[in-house]
Amino acid sequence: MKYFNVPADFKNSTIDQYHRLNNTYDDSRVSEIYGQITVGNLYGSGRPCDMIPKIDMNTLEKHIAYGRQKNIDFSYTLNATCLGNKEFTEAGMAEIAGFLDQLYEIGVESLTIAIPPLIEFVKQSKYKFTIKASTLCDILNANKAIGYKNLGADRIVVHESINRDFSTLKSIREAFGSNVEMIVNVICHKNCIYRPFHQNQGSHDLDIDATSTRYYPHRCMMKRIEGIDNYLKMNWIRPEDIKYYTSIGINYFKIQGRHTVENGNPAKTVECYMKESFDGNLLDLLDNFSTTTAFKIYIDNKKLDGYINAFQQRPNFCKNHCLQCGYCLQYAKKSIDIVKAEEIFQGAREFYNQFDQYNKMIENNNSTRK
């Protein structure tokens, strides 16, 4: 059985779609949706608040109740990577405890958490929350998985960078047990230099600041368009290849993209993974069929058949030294129209260079100091 954890768009009609899918596919089900409040929110998470649905406690309570009627659970994303050291003060602890009271009262029974002291705090609270260690915990090996298990995590979401490292995934599964989860529609670059800093920025984005919320997404896009093979290095898992993960005992899969659900179609995404097939632009699937950028190239998903084989069949195939390889570039040339892609890349470079607010701030700062 494949179990899917899907971002909440807080629409009952979407839960109805998940319920239909659960009754259609015998070997798959949407078991959980996840999200958070943004109105009156005290704590950040893995996404800046301006990118996700505007939800208050009352709306969240109703949505949790409706999902429960359809036998779909809810996990609250309390996975900020920084709380400004609130968790180490008496006043901060009291505030967190009060927030947990509110969540429990409206029906939250599961929390996705990133920082260890908060896991300890929740585990010792009066409530029996189920705790999931977030992908932001950077669980990269069996030792770290065991560490979070000993801390009290009931489930873990592994770091996306090991999505194609089958030997490491096997060892984590053996060490932690069956409750290992993976993100399938990954859009982040493997070995991204911005990752931990982007996470911290998002954790503090309760008050919107345009410069801070745009800096990392802009840098991410500029990284993508350095070369067409960068799109293949994002460690996504194709629907056709999910069978290789269930074969090693991993049965929990997460659809990421809380920033895409309002204008996208997460039900369509999860159904592609349920039926293990998708014919179309891979980037549409990764973005939950939402328009996230005007500079989207076309990657023919079906022309990536066989791409996973080297990773799956040859232990330690990827050395994380792309300058000495070229494997991803071979498949990029098979699945992408290079000429059209370069035209799109050029337009993107011009746009992002023109509207780079951070560089403009640097220029303004330097000009005032002359």
When pLDDT is averaged across residues 220-249 and rounded to a whole number, the result is 93
Give the integer Cα–Cα distance in Å for 135 and 5: 13
Sorted by where each starts, the structural domains of the chain and their CATH numbers stand as 2-368 (3.20.20.70)
pTM over 0.75: yes
Q: Which amino acid is at 223?
A: K
> What pLDDT score was predicted for residue 208?
53
Taken in order 275, 276, 281, 283, is the CA torsion positive or negative? positive
Q: Tell me the two tokens of residue 123.
A: 């585990």
Q: What is the dihedral of CA 169, 282, 313, 253, to 10 degrees?
A: 30
Cα 232-233-235 angle, rounded to 5 deg = 95
- Would you state the structure tokens that stand for residue 156, as one six-digit string? 């873990």
Residue 223: predicted pLDDT: 86
Residue 69 has pLDDT above 90, yes or no: yes
231 pLDDT above the threshold of 70: yes
Q: Which residue in this structure is represented by tokens 């005290």?
A: 42
